[in-house]
């Protein structure tokens, strides 16, 4: 079949494909035009074209800033801890849900687990403050009435980190199970029956059937997560963070917000953004390479 007639025959599919392509062109590639701000002394009123080129001056300035390094360190630290704590959570949860026999119980708990995903971080922040404050927090109120010392959940480093990580797990673990559960529906039930005949226990079945069947999904998500090591969402550290733990809660995204949008130094903010993108690319390529070497699976 010639190319032209091939396209004519499947034009509907191409028309559908054109929408995501348009999305990427407009919202992903279009804005890359603005990357040049990193190399210009950007003047709000002259626009991108009217501003003067300054070469790598802005990069030198950013790499000389102390805050840049502390926010970079915090970004890695929070993401790394998140990877250890939050990444396995949906896997465990998905396996547990998969093992549940009662359909109605499974459905109800799935819905309940999804709900936090749809609550915005601003609201979660409010809840966290109400629950974990030192003076007015409910949890500390209970501790105090039991004669225990209050725990500074929000104002000291280690308790804060735990609060930060577990609000993350609470918010996203349920939603994260979706992909794993989808992968699990594809597993052939005969495998389990065969294992049962052979006398495998429930744990054995989990380790030798369930986990290996979702391994590709786990690896794909792990690679994607590693690629995001250097980028971090804005809302969570900004809202859960506070002045008392600023040393640990100040991350690249809040740093960009402060120097870019709050004090109007767009050039510096763009430099940081570009830096994040480049490091992110290195991470994703690197982890993909390693994963291919070690397990034979990759995403690229």
Query: Which residues of the chain form contacts with another protein (CB under 8 A)?
Result: 12, 15-16, 19, 22, 26, 43-47, 66-67, 129, 133-136, 144, 154-155, 242-244, 246-247, 258-259, 261-265
Rounded to the nearest whole angstrom, what is the least distance from the CB of residue 152 to another protein in the complex? 9
Q: Whose Cβ is closer to another protein: residue 109's or residue 155's?
A: 155
Q: How far apart are CA 254 and CA 257, in angstroms?
A: 5
Q: What three-state secondary structure class fits 40?
A: strand
Q: How far apart are CA 114 and CA 19, in angstroms?
A: 29
Q: What three-state secondary structure class fits 175?
A: helix
Rounded to the nearest whole angstrom, what is the least distance from the CB of residue 172 to another protein in the complex? 24
Nearest CA among 184, 190, 185 for reference residue 214? 184
Query: What does the buried/exposed string (b/e) look like for 239-255 if buried means 16 or more CB atoms within 10 Å of the residue's CB?
Result: bbbeeebeebbbbbbbb
Contact assessment for residue 55 and residue 268, using Cβ atoms and an 8 Å cutoff: no
Q: What angle do CA 76, 166, 66 make, to 5 degrees?
A: 30
Tokens of 187: 């597993």
Q: Whose Cβ is closer to another protein: residue 4's or residue 19's?
A: 19
Residue in the structure block whose two tokens are 């600023």: 246
Tokens of 134: 């030192």
Q: How far apart are CA 203 and CA 190, in angstroms?
A: 17
Rounded to the nearest whole angstrom, what is the least distance from the CB of residue 23 to another protein in the complex? 8
Tokens of 112: 């309940």
Q: How far apart are CA 283 and CA 72, in angstroms?
A: 15
Q: Whose Cβ is closer to another protein: residue 136's or residue 295's?
A: 136
Q: Whose Cβ is closer to another protein: residue 46's or residue 201's?
A: 46
Rounded to the nearest whole angstrom, what is the least distance from the CB of residue 98 to another protein in the complex? 35
Q: Whose Cβ is closer to another protein: residue 188's or residue 263's?
A: 263
Q: Whose Cβ is closer to another protein: residue 19's or residue 197's?
A: 19
Q: How far apart are CA 141 and CA 280, in angstroms?
A: 43
Rounded to the nearest whole angstrom, what is the least distance from the CB of residue 289 to another protein in the complex? 36
Rounded to the nearest whole angstrom, what is the least distance from the CB of residue 18 to another protein in the complex? 8
Q: Whose Cβ is closer to another protein: residue 2's or residue 145's?
A: 145
Rounded to the nearest whole angstrom, what is the least distance from the CB of residue 97 to another protein in the complex? 34
């Amino acid at each position: 079949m010639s190319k032209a007639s091939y396209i004519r025959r499947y034009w509907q599919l191409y028309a559908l494909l054109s929408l995501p392509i348009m999305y990427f062109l407009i919202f992903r590639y279009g804005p890359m035009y603005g990357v040049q701000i990193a190399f210009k002394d950007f003047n709000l009123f002259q626009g991108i074209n009217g501003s003067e080129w300054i070469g790598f001056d802005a990069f030198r300035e950013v790499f000389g800033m102390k805050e840049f390094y502390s926010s970079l360190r915090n970004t890695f630290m929070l993401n790394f801890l998140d990877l250890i704590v939050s990444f396995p959570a949906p896997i465990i949860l998905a396996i547990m849900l998969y093992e549940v026999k009662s359909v109605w119980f499974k459905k109800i708990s799935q819905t309940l687990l999804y709900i936090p995903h749809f609550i915005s971080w601003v609201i979660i922040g409010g809840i966290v403050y109400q629950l974990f404050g030192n003076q007015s927090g409910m949890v500390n109120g209970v501790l105090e009435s039991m004669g225990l010392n209050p725990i500074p959940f929000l104002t000291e480093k280690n308790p804060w980190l735990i609060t930060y990580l577990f609000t993350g797990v609470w918010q996203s673990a349920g939603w994260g199970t979706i992909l794993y559960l989808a992968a699990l529906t594809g597993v052939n039930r005969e495998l389990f029956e065969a294992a049962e005949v052979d006398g495998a226990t429930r744990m054995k079945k989990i380790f030798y059937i369930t986990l290996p069947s979702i391994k590709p999904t786990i690896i794909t998500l792990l690679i994607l997560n590693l690629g995001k090591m250097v980028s971090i969402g804005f809302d969570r550290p900004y809202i859960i963070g506070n002045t008392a733990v600023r040393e640990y809660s100040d991350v690249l995204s809040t740093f960009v917000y402060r120097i870019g949008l709050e004090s109007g130094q767009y050039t510096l903010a763009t430099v940081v953004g570009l830096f994040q993108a480049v490091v992110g690319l290195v991470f994703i390529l690197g982890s993909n390479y390693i994963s291919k070497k070690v397990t034979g699976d990759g995403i690229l």
